[in-house]
């Protein structure tokens, strides 16, 4: 059976990479995206695209029936931590309320398999590093709270089917993938991050290396880390996209609901990342020191054992140099996209 997968936010960074891998694997894909931060050109031609808000319960329900959707991968959501601190209502409205409407549309339409784009931000400031899935979830910013709230909804709905003694074949199941820091681009330079006003470190550093930014700021140099800057676990976007395809296969084969970290199990400091981008680009760019941003934990590194045991996921691109090279190559590609009619990014 050739399954049809509904991908919300499929015009975005991670969603577009996952859509392409789904198509290559043999799935049919229906992309729903309101193009708030995504780009239509990032959606492969083989996918069906509908410009729509993923929180539109009635319209999404109709699409599920029309296209015989059997599973949903939910990427659509706001992701900028500082913005979530300054405008939390925006994040609760989109990341929580709209997610609930989408989940309700799935359950109303009989879709039982749901994969959710969650975040390591649910851990807040972990008591120990690396952090595993059983660690306390104590977010320190509204973005993290919004992701955790959706995880709770999914788990409660999953539990309710069991409590109500639904047959296993009718029970709702899900996988919540807690991303660490996603970076990089397709190795052939054909696809990558084009989000306007990006805040991801590697993306911003590559923009600086390409002359698109006058300088780059390090937000906090007094953390309790070896060089005083934050440490993060960077995962290549293609490895992350493949984790979604494997999670889908897992659910379709009868797997039980899971919450899984997506990371490599080791981290790099801000200074180390900036040094690597300068190395691969052979460009020096201005770096300034700034005060800490609200909502930034000192370190976030994944314990990756569970995702390997449950999905059999083994990273293919666990190499900071490769990640930075692919991201830098993509920034040059973006200049070409800006110049082609109909291919402008929202940043253009």
143 is catalytic: yes
**Phi and psi for 212 in degrees, rounded to 5?**
-85, -15
Marked catalytic residue, from 91, 123, 143, 250: 143
217, with CB counted inside 10 A (0-12, 13-18, 19+), is middle
Q: Terminus-to-terminus CA distance in the chain, angstroms?
A: 42
CB 175 within 8 A of CB 244: no
Residue 242 CA neighbour count, 13 Å, CB half: 16
Residue 6 CA neighbour count, 13 Å, CB half: 34
Q: Give the active site residues.
A: 143
């Amino acid at each position: 059976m050739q399954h049809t997968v509904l991908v919300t936010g499929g015009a975005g960074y991670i969603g577009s990479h996952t859509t392409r891998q789904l198509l290559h694997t043999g799935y049919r894909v229906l992309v729903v995206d309101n193009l708030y931060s995504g780009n239509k050109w990032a959606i492969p031609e083989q996918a069906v695209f509908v410009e729509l808000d993923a929180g539109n319960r009635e319209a999404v329900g109709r699409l599920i029936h029309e296209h015989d959707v059997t599973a949903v991968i939910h990427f659509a959501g706001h992701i900028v931590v500082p913005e979530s601190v300054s405008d939390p209502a925006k994040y609760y409205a989109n990341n929580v309320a709209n997610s609930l409407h989408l989940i309700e549309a799935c359950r109303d339409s009989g879709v039982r398999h749901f994969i959710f784009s969650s975040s390591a931000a649910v851990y807040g400031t972990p008591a120990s590093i690396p952090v595993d899935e059983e660690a306390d979830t104590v977010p320190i910013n509204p973005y993290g709270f919004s992701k955790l709230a959706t995880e709770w909804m999914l788990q409660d709905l999953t539990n309710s089917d069991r409590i109500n003694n639904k047959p296993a074949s009718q029970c709702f199941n899900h996988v919540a993938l807690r991303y660490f820091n996603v970076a990089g681009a397709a190795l052939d330079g054909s696809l990558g991050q084009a989000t306007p006003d990006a805040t991801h470190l590697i993306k911003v550093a590559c923009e600086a290396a390409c002359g698109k930014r006058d300088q780059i700021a390090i937000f906090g140099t007094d953390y309790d880390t070896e060089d005083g800057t934050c440490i993060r676990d960077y995962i290549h976007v293609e490895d992350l996209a493949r984790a979604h395809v494997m999670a889908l296969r897992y659910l379709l084969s009868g797997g039980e609901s899971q919450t899984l970290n997506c990371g490599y199990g080791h981290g790099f400091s801000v200074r180390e990342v900036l040094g690597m981008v300068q190395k691969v680009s052979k460009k020096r760019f201005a770096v300034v020191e700034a005060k800490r941003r609200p909502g930034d934990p000192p370190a976030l590194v994944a314990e990756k054992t569970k995702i390997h045991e449950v999905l059999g996921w083994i990273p293919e691109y666990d190499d900071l140099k490769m990640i930075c090279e692919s991201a830098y190559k993509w920034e040059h590609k973006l200049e070409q996209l800006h110049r082609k009619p109909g291919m402008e990014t929202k940043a253009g």
